[in-house]
Amino acid sequence: MSTPPTATTTTILRGEEATELARLLSYVEDWLLHTDEFVTGDLARFLDSFWRGPATVDDLIAMLGEFSVLLGRRAREGQVHP
Write out the residue range of the structural domain in which residue 68 sits. Answer: 23-76
Give Rg (Cα) of the chain: 15
- Nearest CA among 27, 36, 35, 16 for reference residue 65: 27
Rounded distance between C-alpha atoms, residue 30 and residue 27, angstroms: 5
Q: Is residue 49 part of a domain?
A: yes
51 in any annotated domain: yes
pLDDT of residue 71: 92
47 within some domain: yes
How many domains are contained in the chain?
1
pLDDT per 10-residue tile (average), the chain, 82 residues: 65 87 95 94 85 78 94 81 50
| In-domain check, residue 32 | yes
Report the alpha-carbon distance of residue 80 to residue 82 in Å, rounded. Answer: 6
Whether residue 45 lies inside any domain: the answer is: yes
| Domain-located, residue 18 | no
Give a yes or no: residue 1 inside a domain: no
